[in-house]
Amino acid sequence: MPKVDLEALEQTNTTGYPPPFDEPVAGRWQRKVAEAAGLTQLGARHVVLEPGAWSSQRHWHEGEDEFLVMLEGEAVLVEDDGRTLLKAGDMAAWPKGVRNGHHLVNESAAPCRFVAFGGGKNSGGAYSDIDMQFDADGRYLHKDGTPY
Amino acid sequence: MPKVDLEALEQTNTTGYPPPFDEPVAGRWQRKVAEAAGLTQLGARHVVLEPGAWSSQRHWHEGEDEFLVMLEGEAVLVEDDGRTLLKAGDMAAWPKGVRNGHHLVNESAAPCRFVAFGGGKNSGGAYSDIDMQFDADGRYLHKDGTPY
């Protein structure tokens, strides 16, 4: 039965970010909804952001497209060119290779919920505001290539 | 600015289905939200189903994964093994190659809205309830291979 049973899926706030970059995402609770359903051709994470939490460090992907659907609550989308409030029902899309770092920040007093989709092949990317990039194997490196 | 401006996108109820298979989807209004945003690694359609409308003929894909997020209203998911009501916030996923035909039927008195995602490469598929299949070029054929 292809309806996703969200409550049955493990929810985790773990991250591979090295300290102190892990702190802003401690209130990000994720479930891998596409993987749990056996999908292999696209990724989808159901995410709950507690008040104050970030969806990620501000980043972009070299080889992967991203698409986000807000389900409940609101968060501020932060990019190079400013801030945009996203509310329930809003959508946002980021084509691969566009080096305009983005993330969501829950500046409200209530949790927000969204689904984040990814398609394509990871070939690395970088973080706009900190000395960090990731490679095609998902490893975190300084921008000079030194591993964390 | 990556927020999707839904109202700015063309909405269409066209279909390539041959008659009479086109009739149940006449009340299906679609916008290609991922393509409009420049995405190439995943597909996303924002769909409004009028009361009585179907999302498609009941079908499955050989090579593409599908994922659906209900935004507003409700519809009945129909599959080989029964019916499931999907409401706002519900999600459903269909892995490629699973020959369990599926579609949504809006049996309610109000429009419903959802986003349907696709990933992977079209390599054909078929329709569960009618004498029709589609090939890797998106052409509609009888199940004996004769074109419509």
Taking CA–CA distances from B89, the nearest residue in chain A reads A71
- Beta strand pairing status for B91-94 and B28-32? unpaired
- For residue A1, pLDDT beyond 90: no
Exposure string for A4-17, b = 16+ CB within 10 A, e = fewer? beeeebeeeeebeb
Nearest to A59 by CA among A119, A102, A94, A116: A102
Contact status, residue A92 vs residue A85, Cβ threshold 8 Å: no
Question: What is the token pair recorded at B120?
Answer: 């992977």
Identify the contact set of chain A against chain B, taking CB-CB distances under 8 A: 1-4, 6, 33-34, 37-42, 44, 46, 63-65, 67, 69, 71-72, 77, 79, 81-82, 84, 86, 89-96, 98, 100, 102, 113, 115, 117-120
- Percent of chain A scored above 90 by pLDDT? 99
- For residue B12, pLDDT beyond 90: yes
Q: Note the pLDDT tens digit of each residue in A38-87.
A: 999 999 999 999 999 999 999 999 999 999 999 999 999 999 999 999 99
- For residue B47, pLDDT beyond 70: yes
Contact status, residue A58 vs residue A80, Cβ threshold 8 Å: no
Q: What is the mean pLDDT of residues A95-114?
A: 98
- Percent of chain A scored above 70 by pLDDT? 99
pLDDT of residue B61: 98
Q: How far apart are the first and last CA of chain B?
A: 42
Contact across the interface for A93 and B41, Cβ inside 8 Å:
no
CA atoms in the 13 A half-sphere facing the CB of B39: 29
pLDDT of residue A35: 96
Q: What is the mean pLDDT of residues B127-146?
A: 97
Cα-only R_g, chain B: 15
Contact across the interface for B39 and A91, Cβ inside 8 Å:
no
| Predicted TM-score (pTM) of this structure | 0.97
- Beta strand pairing status for A43-49 and A112-120? antiparallel
pLDDT of residue B1: 66
Taking CA–CA distances from B95, the nearest residue in chain A reads A39
Rounded Cα distance between B6 and B129, Å, is 33
**Can you give the length of chain A in residues?**
148
Look up residue B97 and give its amino acid. Answer: G
**Interface predicted TM-score of the whole assembly (ipTM), two decimals:** 0.96
Q: Determine how many CB atoms are found less than 10 A away from the CB of residue B30.
A: 20
pLDDT of residue A34: 97
Q: Note the pLDDT tens digit of each residue in B19-45.
A: 999 999 999 999 999 999 999 999 999
The residue with greater pLDDT, B6 or A1, is B6
Identify the contact set of chain B against chain A, taking CB-CB distances under 8 A: 1-4, 6, 33-34, 37-42, 44, 46, 63-65, 67, 69, 71-72, 77, 79, 81-82, 84, 86, 89-96, 98, 100, 102, 113, 115, 117-120
pLDDT of residue A11: 97
- Percent of chain B scored above 70 by pLDDT? 99
